Amino acid sequence: MFKQRLARKEFAVAIWFLAPSFIGFSLFYLIPFGQSIFTSFGDRLGGAGVTLTHYKELFLSASFRKAAANTFWFTLISVPLLVALSLGAALLLNQRVFIRQWLRAAYVMPLVVPVASIVMVWQILFDWNGVWNAWLDSLGFGRIDWMKSQWAGLIIVLIYIWKNIGYNIVLFLAGLQSIPGQYYEISDLEGASALRKLFGITLVYLTPTAFLVVLMSVLGSFKVFREVYLVAGAYPHDRIYMLQHYMNNMFLSLDIQKLSAAAVLMAACIFVLIVGLFRIERKFRSFME
């Protein structure tokens, strides 16, 4: 009886502590998103009926299809690159190398620098009169308008990786340092190779951390609008025209129905990706056990 009262009391205290966060989350996220869902199915003329017209218009829109395809390819290319590079850097920093302290300072820098400053650095590098074009011009090659060419997609991938790699390295380092050292000592006694230890110990016990890193990287890839907008403006090259650009343009034109439908579709895609990642991680963990 006493334990039940204590559990109820702790539950009530937890509810009181969580209430402010839940109220804020509801006011700024849940309620607006619910309103967006309602608006996306609503009649443009303000009727009470439910219609799929806005979703049909989205799929018939060449701009939306282009934005969706660019966002899909950006996520498909940038996330594996980011995860692989951050894992490799974390494995290197976890060893005793002579440039360890310098590398730690280097990967932390993008985390503390504002996004606007980061974009300014990349603008200086890839502007028509920027560093890269000056270097190419000195070698006798022609200047390239990087952000108005097919190279724009690669530049955005590089900006995304450079901005987010430090956070992923921190997560991977925390996961690496939580692996018991006895496992490596036993594997050394048994004569296991470095490759065997990597795949048999390190990557196996990094599975929860890797899942979190992939999840955060996927979510971050859908928020690359800030960088693209600051570098290339509201109407960038076709190669880097993302879903957020489409929704931003719909907002500026006051087409709230299409904006809401696009937001609902993007949220649904993110939800499907997250559920898929959870299922893959669960199956992999059960297979390893």
- Residue boundaries of the structural domains of the chain: 41-113+147-288
The pLDDT, as a whole number, for residue 53 is 82
Contacts of residue 192, Cβ cutoff 8 Å, sequence gap at least 6: 200
CATH 1.10.3720.10 for domain 41-113+147-288, yes or no, is yes
Percent over 70 (pLDDT), the chain: 91
Q: Quick check: helix, strand or coil at residue 221?
A: helix
Please report the DSSP string for 95-110 in residue order.
Answer: S--TTHHHHHHHHHHH
Of 7-11, 13-17, 45-49, minimum mean pLDDT range: 45-49
Q: Greater confidence, 84 or 115? A: 84
Statement: residue 48 has pLDDT above 60: no
Q: Greater confidence, 78 or 12? A: 78
Statement: residue 227 has pLDDT above 90: no
Percent over 90 (pLDDT), the chain: 8
Burial per residue of 230-255, b for 16 or more beta-carbon CB atoms within 10 angstroms, e otherwise: bbbeeebbebbbbbbbbbebbeeeeb
Using CB atoms within 10 Å of the CB of residue 192, give its burial: 0 to 12 exposed, 13 to 18 middle, 19+ buried.
middle
**Predicted confidence band of residue 98 (pLDDT cuts 50, 70, 90):** low
Q: What is the mean pLDDT of residues 256-269?
A: 88
Cα 246 to Cα 223: distance, rounded to the nearest angstrom: 13
**Predicted confidence band of residue 101 (pLDDT cuts 50, 70, 90):** low
Rounded to two decimals, what is the model's pTM? 0.81
Cβ atoms of 171 and 213 closer than 8 Å: yes
CA distances from 13 to 6, 8, 18, 289 (A): 11, 9, 9, 37
The pLDDT, as a whole number, for residue 100 is 63
The pLDDT, as a whole number, for residue 105 is 67
The pLDDT, as a whole number, for residue 47 is 53
The pLDDT, as a whole number, for residue 208 is 85
Q: What is the mean pLDDT of residues 212-221?
A: 90
Q: Greater confidence, 125 or 211? A: 211
Tens-digit pLDDT profile for residues 109-162: 777 777 777 777 777 787 777 788 888 877 777 777 777 778 888 888 988 888
Task: Retrieve residue 160's tokens.
Answer: 């995304």
Statement: residue 82 has pLDDT above 90: yes
**Predicted confidence band of residue 30 (pLDDT cuts 50, 70, 90):** confident
The H-assigned helical ranges of the chain are: 2-25, 31-40, 53-60, 62-93, 100-112, 115-126, 131-138, 151-177, 181-189, 194-197, 203-205, 207-221, 225-232, 243-252, 256-288
Statement: residue 36 has pLDDT above 80: yes
CA distances from 251 to 36, 179, 207 (A): 13, 48, 40
Cα angle: 163, vertex 209, 171; to 5 degrees: 40
Q: What is the mean pLDDT of residues 4-19?
A: 80
Nearest to 264 by CA among 276, 254, 256: 256
Cα 106 to Cα 174: distance, rounded to the nearest angstrom: 18
pLDDT, the chain, mean: 82
Statement: residue 79 has pLDDT above 90: yes
